Amino acid sequence: MFHYKVYDIEIASEIEMPSAYVSDGSRDPQIIIRVKKMDDILELCKKTKKTADEENGKDNEEVDLTKKDDEIIYLPGFALFRICGGKEIFFHEIEKTDNYQVEQWLLNRCITCALTQRGEIIIHCSGLDKDGELALLSGESGSGKSTLADKLLERKEYKFASDDTVRIEIRDGKLIGYGAYPLRRLCLDAVERNGYDKESVIRIDDGEREKYGVSMKDVFTCEGRSVNSLFILNPSDETDAVRVDEITGSYKLEALTDCIYNYTYYKKNGLNKDMFFKMVLIANNLRIYRVSRPVKGMTVNEVAENVNKIFVKN
């Protein structure tokens, strides 16, 4: 068994995950990843997909056989995953494939799904650490989140904490954030802009754009950090200058919900009473800002200056 910490959750795995933070295994695992043949489920997935393809007249990417606390992820020609009760993840390899591709599905989809089954709250955002406190940067694909993170990291006082997701928990009335794993996923232009050698980074096929993984293990810690600021990036045709607006009142809960990672999993499992209460408490204790910028033009310096000024003030 390999032992890791992901979001400071203890993971025991029969599959090696080179990008994850290695644990000493002294704590009992909260989630176990096992390799298991699931031929009966695989055949059912194939039949269900064939029927769906015939009914829709097109090739469906995934098959949904999900029941509550039992998530099935079927990737034709690649793998079958099953996530059960937030405690176990089973992997059935259909065809031999790259280990990094397997680990990315485990880290980004399967473990996240298991945590939703456990009632955890995962926010879709980058996390930058400054003096033990996290600045959370969120926004849709293409909003400039990675570019802003690069600009802030140029300031020596900011350190990498998490690339794409942060687990939020409430401890003694305060918000604590945990990064997922020490790997930055960058587009080709960001790799070239940061001066990385393409031969020394990990190529990641995410099905959309060519991305590369850069290890950040030398600066990563799985320890929790306090959180009080979330910045939502919003490229807009309706502004000709960078504008920062604080979101207040009931709109905070709506904005936070929009930032949940893989919200479809939360919808499938349902936001139970405890999870909804946790969301309300997080929204109440979080300063949330919408950072609007012109779609055209280079405004990253101005955005970074505004975010830094507000973060330091908070």
Looking at per-residue pLDDT, the higher value among 214 and 3 belongs to: 3
Q: Where in the sequence is the domain holding 190, given as residue range(s)?
A: 183-216
Residues 51 and 149 in one domain: no
Please spell the DSSP secondary structure of 129-193, one letter per residue: EETTEEEEEE--TTSSHHHHHHHHHTSTT-EEEESSEEEEEEETTEEEEEE--SEEEEEHHHHHH
Residues 203 and 251 in one domain: no
How far apart (Å, rounded) are the C-alpha atoms in residues 145 and 142?
8
Residues 82 and 222 in one domain: no
How far apart (Å, rounded) are the C-alpha atoms in residues 6 and 251?
30
Residues 255 and 275 in one domain: yes
Which pLDDT does position 270 carry in this prediction? 67
Which pLDDT does position 141 carry in this prediction? 79
**How many structural domains is the chain composed of?**
3
- The SS3 assignment for 25 reads coil
Q: What is the pLDDT of residues 269-292, one digit of tens each?
A: 667 788 889 999 999 999 999 999
Q: What is the CATH number of the domain that holds 162?
A: 3.90.228.20
Which of 76, 99, 118 is the endpoint of a domain?
118
Whether the CB-CB separation of 159 and 128 falls below 8 Å is answered with yes
Q: Is the entire prediction scored with pTM above 0.85?
A: yes
What is each CA distance from 67 to 33, 83, 85, 306, 307, in whole angstroms?
Answer: 19, 10, 10, 45, 42
Percent of the chain surpassing pLDDT 70 = 92
Which pLDDT does position 56 carry in this prediction? 65
What is each CA distance from 150 to 135, 182, 278, 309, in whole angstroms?
Answer: 13, 15, 31, 17
Range from 55-59, 163-167, 271-275 that averages highest in pLDDT: 163-167
Which of 102, 118, 134 is the endpoint of a domain?
118
Residues 48 and 138 in one domain: no
Whether the CB-CB separation of 290 and 245 falls below 8 Å is answered with yes
Q: Which residue has the tokens 């995962």?
A: 122
Give the pLDDT band of residue 225 (cuts 50, 70, 90): very high
Residues 104 and 223 in one domain: no
Lowest mean pLDDT, pick from 55-69, 149-163, 253-267, 292-306: 55-69
pLDDT of 60 > 60? The answer is: no
